[in-house]
């Protein structure tokens, strides 16, 4: 028997109802706030992710599904299943000249992503993300709105016992001092850091702070290192921006806390970064994460454009939401005349009712037994009903029956 690949999962049965509920709420919440849906291809040029996500990230170095297609020159024909969707949305924003339209431009998406990593609870090799991206607004109100969108969406699916953590990484100019300070204070401990952090030390030292290795975490707790980590190296302009973000969140009633170790795992973030966490998910407790990426559009060939957004893992969210139960059918047609039964089903469905009939044309008692399990009412369509043009409708909860000329 051929089974699903490791790290992939079929979404079937009652689970699909919960997935549909999640997607329907996303569509309602985001479109009410003027976010337009965008659907990008599931594979892109590998270079898009190397440049956009960052070649110092674990995603690019370890986790991408990359293929060589067409011809012999791998560098010119390398494609990758998307490991995240921000880079793809930015590519579409540039390619379709959306920057010429009146800002801000707001988008939301729902779809599968792919990363080659060890499967665990809430994390698969094929997984799904919901996300929003907002282009063209440098103001703190944009940061606050996307955090609000995440908060409102999570509440809409019944998840509200969450914690918002925020931080500021500053702009590239003021962040350089922070990078150098981190490298200087960690230099004596370089040999004690994990192999990944030793690579990050040279390529992107701020990402060391995102490491979950227990030994690295102990090093970060040393007083001289903690002092540097917790110091504010952001410039006055970035500091003011972050203060404004916090004021907006307070006005909106969104509870948050500052986490100076929060840097996020992707290279494109600037200024505001945030995560929304749940204590119900164990150590991997981030439900949603994002931030501002003002330099990414220009980095990928577009005009300088401020941008901010987030993504949310649906598999992790699925573990938190109350599962949707299947509603019963409105009607089940019980009849030994399947042609008439199907015709009646067609008419009822056209009126907006949910109904079905027994295609196997089993005995009357068996059909009625099936009806009692799946429907609220049984429509009995026997020879007498067909000849005299009426229906016998049975309430399957009370057992009451009545004759009707129409349904």
Entry field: residues in the chain = 407
- Coil, strand or helix at 359: coil
- Retrieve residue 85's tokens: 């969707």
Instruction: Using alpha carbons, select from 307, 243, 305, 316 the residue that is nearest to residue 275.
Output: 316
What whole-number distance in Å separates Cα of residue 283 and Cα of residue 278? 10
Question: What is the pLDDT at residue 202?
Answer: 79
* Residue 43 DSSP code: E
In the chain, the largest separation of any two C-alpha atoms, in whole Å, equals 94
Question: What is the pLDDT at residue 403?
Answer: 94
* pTM recorded for the entire structure: 0.86
Identify whether the C-beta of residue 252 lies closer than 8 Å to the C-beta of residue 225: no
Cβ-proximal residues to 357 (8 Å cutoff; 6+ apart), any chain: 332, 333, 334, 335, 338, 341, 342, 344, 345
- Retrieve residue 70's tokens: 């067409």
Instruction: Using alpha carbons, select from 201, 206, 132, 194 the residue that is nearest to residue 168.
Output: 206
What whole-number distance in Å separates Cα of residue 210 and Cα of residue 219? 13
Given the structure tokens 């949910």, which residue do they identify?
354
Low-confidence ranges of the chain (pLDDT < 50): 72-73
What whole-number distance in Å separates Cα of residue 237 and Cα of residue 61? 34
Q: Which region, left, alpha or beta, applies to residue 374 given φ > 0 means left and ψ of -120 to 50 means alpha?
A: alpha
Domain edges within the chain: 15-171+234-320, 329-404
226-261 tens-digit pLDDT: 777 767 778 899 999 999 999 999 999 999 999 987
DSSP string, 244-306: HHHHHHHHHT--EEE-TT---S-TT-EEEEEEEE-GGGTTS-EEEEEEE-TTHHHHTTS----
Fold match flag (15-171+234-320 vs 329-404): no
Domain 15-171+234-320 belongs in CATH node 2.40.50.140: no
Cβ-proximal residues to 286 (8 Å cutoff; 6+ apart), any chain: 275, 276, 277, 316
**CATH hierarchy code of domain 329-404:** 3.40.50.800
144-177 tens-digit pLDDT: 999 999 999 999 999 888 899 999 988 888 877 7
Instruction: Using alpha carbons, select from 357, 351, 360 the residue that is nearest to residue 406.
Output: 351
- Coil, strand or helix at 234: coil
Identify whether the C-beta of residue 220 lies closer than 8 Å to the C-beta of residue 229: yes
């Amino acid at each position: 028997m051929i089974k699903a690949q490791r790290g992939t999962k079929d979404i079937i049965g009652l689970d699909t109802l919960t997935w549909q509920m999640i997607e329907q709420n996303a569509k309602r919440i985001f479109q009410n706030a003027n976010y337009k849906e965008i659907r990008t291809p599931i594979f892109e040029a590998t270079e898009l992710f190397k440049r956009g996500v960052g070649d110092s990230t674990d995603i690019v170095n370890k986790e991408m599904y990359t293929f060589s297609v067409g011809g012999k020159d791998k560098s010119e024909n390398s494609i990758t299943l998307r490991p995240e969707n921000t880079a793809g949305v930015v590519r579409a924003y540039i390619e379709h000249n959306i920057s010429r339209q009146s800002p801000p431009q707001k988008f939301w998406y729902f779809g599968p992503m792919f990363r080659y990593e060890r499967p665990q609870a809430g994390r698969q090799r094929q997984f799904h993300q919901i996300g929003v991206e907002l282009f063209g607004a440098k103001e703190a109100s944009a940061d606050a709105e996307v955090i609000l969108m995440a908060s409102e969406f999570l509440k809409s699916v019944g998840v509200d016992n969450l914690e918002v953590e925020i931080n500021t990484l500053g702009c590239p100019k003021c962040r350089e001092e922070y990078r150098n300070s981190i490298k200087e204070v960690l230099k004596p401990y370089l040999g004690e850091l994990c192999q990944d952090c030793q690579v990050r030390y040279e390529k992107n030292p701020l990402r060391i702070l995102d490491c979950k290795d227990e030994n690295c975490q102990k090093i970060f707790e040393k007083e001289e290192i903690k002092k540097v980590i917790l110091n504010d190296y952001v410039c006055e302009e970035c500091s003011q921006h972050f203060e404004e973000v916090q004021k907006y969140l307070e006005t909106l009633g969104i509870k948050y806390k500052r986490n100076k170790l929060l840097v996020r795992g992707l290279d494109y973030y600037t200024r505001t970064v945030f995560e929304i966490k749940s204590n119900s998910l164990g150590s991997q407790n981030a439900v949603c994460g994002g931030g501002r990426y003002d330099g990414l559009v220009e980095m990928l060939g577009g005009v300088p454009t401020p941008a901010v957004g987030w993504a949310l893992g649906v598999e992790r969210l699925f573990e938190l939401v109350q599962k949707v139960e299947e509603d019963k059918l409105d009607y089940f047609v019980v009849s030994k005349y399947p042609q008439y039964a199907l015709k009646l089903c067609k008419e009822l469905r056209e009126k907006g009712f949910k109904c079905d009939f027994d295609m196997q044309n089993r005995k009357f008692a068996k059909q009625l037994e099936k009806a009692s399990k799946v429907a609220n009412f049984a429509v009995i369509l026997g020879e007498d009903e067909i000849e005299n043009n009426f229906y016998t409708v049975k309430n399957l909860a009370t057992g009451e029956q009545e004759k009707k000329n129409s349904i």
